[in-house]
Amino acid sequence: MKTYTKEEFRELLEKKVRDKRTKTLEETTDKDLFYAITSILKDSINEANIETEQRYINEQNRQVSYLSMEFLIGRLIESNLINTGFKQVCDEVLEDLGRSPRDVYGEEHDAGLGNGGLGRLAACFLDSIASLGYAGNGFGIRYRYGLFEQRIVSGSQIELPDNWLREVYPWETRKIDEAIQVRFGGEVDFVIDNDQYQFSYKDQEVVLAVPYDIGIVGYENDVVNTLRLWSAEVPDDAVSPEPYMNQLEYKQSVEKISGFLYPDDSKEEGRFLRLKQQYFLVSSTIQTLIHRFKANDDLPIEAFHKKNVIQINDTHPTFGIPELMRILMDEEGLSWDQAWEITSHTFAYTNHTIMQEALEKWPVELVKRVNPRILMIIDEINERFCKSIFDNHESLRDRISEMAVISDGVVHMSKLAIVGSYSVNGVAALHSDIIKNYTFNDFYRLTPEKFNNKTNGITHRRWLLGANPRLAELISDSIGDHWVKSPVEMTQLLRYQNDESFLSNLAEVKLHNKKVLQEVIYKKTGIEVNEHSIFDVQVKRLHEYKRQLLNIFHVIHLYNEIKRNPKLKMVPQTFIFGAKAAPSYHLAKEIIRLIHVVGEMVNNDRDVAGRIKVVFLENYNVTLAEYIMPAAEISEQISTASMEASGTGNMKMMMNGAVTLGTMDGANVEIAERVGQDNILIFGLSSEQVINYQNKGGYQAKDIYQTDDRLKTILNGLKDGSYAKGETFSDIYYRILTNNDPYFILKDFTSYLETHIKAVTLYEEQKQWNKMSLVNIAQSGKFSSDRTINEYATDIWKLI
């Protein structure tokens, strides 16, 4: 990639501002500068993108296609500046102009095309794939509206549409000449010709999938891969298949396919439109891959899987399996066996959840309406699969009805994904073990070789270099900058464990970041927080299993203690929350309301005198996270053990020097393994204990309620309106006492409290705490997504 001196960059900027915004540099607004900078970057990115693609074609290497219904990429300007190497020059030019880089970069609207962990993981993976120079591209949907914007009105969440395309999105390029036709519905006919079935379709709805490409820039390596997002449009010559629809209605109904992102990441969303979105993604993508293979590779179609791997991000793109079968058989003329040989060596499936309500199950009738041929193929996959168990695996014969891909009139997407893939992975060691031993145990017994673990990771370029430049500098000043390309080398920091000057520099960086967040908090909420208080942070989607409720119960408990003994000495603590609830998830929204009501009570009570504060930051998104992670000191990772597949916020906070206070769940287990028991605060039931209670019973929440006065007071307060303004929370109360506390909040309460006391005691020993912080940073290299992607590339994708 080209490099620029300050003078050259300034000249270029001046020219862009004239050409694109018809202004002089002096007249520019932040937005003008933002668009001028993105235009400079995009010229370089496009050029490198063309070269990268050409090189992949020439080298004829195996390529990976990462299919995901979600890519939560956030802003790109800073990470593109960092990865192209333009960041420093650009910052300096802006500063010389008397402008604030932060404000200029702040003009970019977050691309929020994802819900939470799964979508953000996909974005980190793209960054690592490009930075490591692997031939890999992402494919997703260009939703007209991304994840809703959250507003809090009188303590309650309301949702506003995320109109992220209101202004030009500078990173995308529309490629109409590479548009693809996707066919829905209609009927299937066949004739038998020469002992071969010939399928034909009629009365289908034809939708045009138009690609918008975004360059994914590798870190200082001249690689630019592609994220291709599909947008649904009406083909030029199309007439509405429904006679009563006029052209405008028809256009609107087609465009709905890429209209909005489903905002629920806790349940399988049983809507026809969601299913159409899934087929839209896989059909357009797989047609493109076949087309490219035939155009660029000098091999017969039978070798497709030698050059292509398709990684599916959870089950959402699973229809890719029957879609590839359809194309290979109906369009390329292969037999079932030939097509199956290719397909079952092409797909690899990542599971992100074991929660039953999130495992997708689609009614057969609905699948048929989306595309009847796809249902026929799934049916046949199922028949052959069940027969093969019966014929070849006697020990599993009595499990066939549980293993069937179709049963009780529904398609089980995870089973289809396992049967049709050559690799099935979980996202943390514990999660992968649970998959093997419980969730998919039958399949593990059938094909143990498919199952593997790939512990998640995060890109340290965005989450450390970009979000916390002062910490990055401190690290480089101490151990050199090798760690940037090889983050495990951060373990060299361990030798500063007893170095007072390093530890005090570290504390200074943290204090600076806390002050930045303090300002953000004040601007957004009007709440003044003490920068010397402990910043205790829980930011993630709101879900019962993540137990934000346990956290707020602890706050209520501290408040009750202060009220009982107003002279109580206490290290000041600020409890920071950020969380979006699915719009239809009533209880989650009630928990948000409770956090606000408790915050109101605590923050405004003179007796509290600033000892504790509660802050809820609305509209938690990637950009906000970039301010929060560097300032966090306690990282709350308190899911009911066994339920959080991995977590990735835990890794982001660890990398920025926070100490995890959490359960032995997801990747917390591996964090504990790296930092050792002295540098993490673990509490609560183990996953085996939770699973045992679930399977065998033996837990009675009411017993704890009866015997624990602290909890009795807290729970009764929910019903009798003790928490500010007399607001009540009976649904939460009954969920715990009548539904027997399905997430074991009461059970884990005591050990959670004790662990907080331990945390505060350690915090008071500033030197001790800074040392813990250092060990966490030093050991965070394992959780760079570069490590994760190298493992995928070696073990699953076989790119090296």
Q: Which residue from 578, 570, 576, 577 is spatially nearest to 610, judged by alpha carbons? A: 570
Stretch that binds ligand 26W, among 159-167, 170-178, 258-266, 679-687 (CB under 6 A): 258-266
Which of 352, 557, 596, 735 does the annotation list as catalytic? Answer: 352
Q: Could you confirm whether 28 is annotated as catalytic?
A: no
Per CB under 6 A, does 262 bind ligand 26W? yes
482/484 Cα distance (integer angstroms): 5
Per CB under 6 A, does 665 bind ligand 26W? no
178/743 Cα distance (integer angstroms): 49
Q: Could you confirm whether 652 is annotated as catalytic?
A: yes
Per CB under 6 A, does 588 bind ligand 26W? no
Q: Could you confirm whether 23 is annotated as catalytic?
A: no
Could you tell me the strand order of the sheet in which 410-412 lies? Answer: 361-363, 410-412, 406-407
Per CB under 6 A, does 353 bind ligand 26W? yes
Stretch that binds ligand 26W, among 207-215, 257-265, 373-381, 589-597 (CB under 6 A): 257-265
Per CB under 6 A, does 544 bind ligand 26W? no
Stretch that binds ligand 26W, among 8-16, 111-119, 705-713, 738-746 (CB under 6 A): 111-119
**74 vs 117, beta carbon nearer ligand 26W:** 117
**323 vs 360, beta carbon nearer ligand 26W:** 360
Which of 459, 648, 660, 663 does the annotation list as catalytic? Answer: 648
**347 vs 559, beta carbon nearer ligand 26W:** 347
Q: Which of 68, 648, 770, 779 binds ligand 26W (CB under 6 A)?
A: 648
* Location of structure tokens 């916390």: 468
Residues 445-474 that bind ligand 26W (CB under 6 A): 456
Start-end of H helices in 526-567: 548-564
Q: Are strands 205-217 and 180-184 parallel, antiparallel or unpaired?
A: antiparallel
Q: Could you confirm whether 352 is annotated as catalytic?
A: yes
Stretch that binds ligand 26W, among 59-67, 112-120, 135-143, 756-764 (CB under 6 A): 112-120
145/253 Cα distance (integer angstroms): 15
505 to 511, 717, 763, 777: CA distances (angstroms): 10, 44, 17, 14
539 to 115, 116, 178, 633, 775: CA distances (angstroms): 13, 11, 40, 13, 22
**107 vs 265, beta carbon nearer ligand 26W:** 265
334/678 Cα distance (integer angstroms): 60
Which of 307, 652, 735, 787 does the annotation list as catalytic? Answer: 652
Q: Which of 32, 108, 213, 265 binds ligand 26W (CB under 6 A)?
A: 265
Per CB under 6 A, does 529 bind ligand 26W? no
Q: Which helix (H) or strand (E) holds 200?
A: strand 196-202
Q: Which of 68, 204, 621, 646 binds ligand 26W (CB under 6 A)?
A: 646
- Smallest gap from Cβ 117 to ligand 26W, in A, equals 3
Q: Which of 74, 101, 112, 116 binds ligand 26W (CB under 6 A)?
A: 116
**509 vs 643, beta carbon nearer ligand 26W:** 643
108/124 Cα distance (integer angstroms): 19
Residues 307-346 that bind ligand 26W (CB under 6 A): 314
141/66 Cα distance (integer angstroms): 12
Q: Which residue from 307, 553, 460 is spatially nearest to 788, judged by alpha carbons? A: 460
**82 vs 354, beta carbon nearer ligand 26W:** 354
Q: Could you confirm whether 540 is annotated as catalytic?
A: yes
Q: Which of 110, 536, 644, 786 binds ligand 26W (CB under 6 A)?
A: 644
Are 553 and 639 in contact, with CB atoms under 8 Å apart? no
Identify any residues that bridge with 535 across adjacent strands, giving them in sequence order.
Answer: 574
- Smallest gap from Cβ 29 to ligand 26W, in A, equals 37
The DSSP line for 121-143 is HHHHHHHHHHHTT--EEEEEE--
Per CB under 6 A, does 662 bind ligand 26W? no
Stretch that binds ligand 26W, among 446-454, 619-627, 640-648, 721-729 (CB under 6 A): 640-648
* Location of structure tokens 């091999």: 299
DSSP state of 149: E
- Smallest gap from Cβ 753 to ligand 26W, in A, equals 25
Stretch that binds ligand 26W, among 26-34, 116-124, 517-525, 715-723 (CB under 6 A): 116-124
How many Cα atoms occupy the beta-carbon half-sphere of 381 within 13 Å? 33
Q: Is 456 exposed, middle or buried (0-12, 13-18, 19+ CB in 10 A)?
A: buried
User: How far does Cα 242 stand from its chain's mean position?
Assistant: 38
Q: Which residue from 75, 19, 81 is spatially nearest to 45, judged by alpha carbons? A: 81
Residue number of the CB closest to ligand 26W reads 117
Q: Could you confirm whether 87 is annotated as catalytic?
A: no
Q: Which residue from 249, 224, 225, 230 is spatially nearest to 239, judged by alpha carbons? A: 249
What length is written for the chain?
800
**273 vs 571, beta carbon nearer ligand 26W:** 273
Per CB under 6 A, does 117 bind ligand 26W? yes
Q: Which residue from 196, 361, 382 is spatially nearest to 267, judged by alpha carbons? A: 361
Q: Which of 127, 264, 536, 618 binds ligand 26W (CB under 6 A)?
A: 264
Q: Which residues, in sequence order, are CB contacts of 694 under 8 Å at separation 6+?
A: none
Which of 454, 540, 543, 613 does the annotation list as catalytic? Answer: 540
Print the binding letters for residues 711-750 with ligand 26W: x by CB under 6 A, - otherwise: ----------------------------------------
Stretch that binds ligand 26W, among 82-90, 145-153, 474-482, 642-650 (CB under 6 A): 642-650
- Smallest gap from Cβ 750 to ligand 26W, in A, equals 25
**161 vs 270, beta carbon nearer ligand 26W:** 270
Which amino acid, 390?
F
- Smallest gap from Cβ 671 to ligand 26W, in A, equals 13
- Smallest gap from Cβ 651 to ligand 26W, in A, equals 9
| # residues contacting ligand 26W (CB under 6 A) | 22
Q: Which of 268, 536, 618, 670 binds ligand 26W (CB under 6 A)?
A: 268
Per CB under 6 A, does 427 bind ligand 26W? yes
- Smallest gap from Cβ 425 to ligand 26W, in A, equals 10
Per CB under 6 A, does 118 bind ligand 26W? yes
Which of 546, 613, 674, 771 does the annotation list as catalytic? Answer: 546
Q: Which residue from 671, 701, 669 is spatially nearest to 772, judged by alpha carbons? A: 671
**142 vs 274, beta carbon nearer ligand 26W:** 274
Per CB under 6 A, does 121 bind ligand 26W? yes
Are 164 and 109 in contact, with CB atoms under 8 Å apart? yes
Stretch that binds ligand 26W, among 290-298, 362-370, 483-491, 646-654 (CB under 6 A): 646-654
**314 vs 544, beta carbon nearer ligand 26W:** 314
587/506 Cα distance (integer angstroms): 40
* Location of structure tokens 């009411």: 702
784 to 457, 488, 490, 574: CA distances (angstroms): 5, 8, 11, 28
Are 111 and 31 in contact, with CB atoms under 8 Å apart? no
Q: Is 171 exposed, middle or buried (0-12, 13-18, 19+ CB in 10 A)?
A: buried
562/705 Cα distance (integer angstroms): 22
Are 66 and 122 in contact, with CB atoms under 8 Å apart? yes
Q: Which residue from 459, 416, 452 is spatially nearest to 433, judged by alpha carbons? A: 452
* Location of structure tokens 């593997």: 452
Catalytic residues: 352, 540-541, 546, 648, 652
Residues found near ligand 26W in the complex (CB under 6 A)? 115-118, 121, 262, 264-265, 268-269, 314, 352-353, 358, 427, 456, 644-648, 666
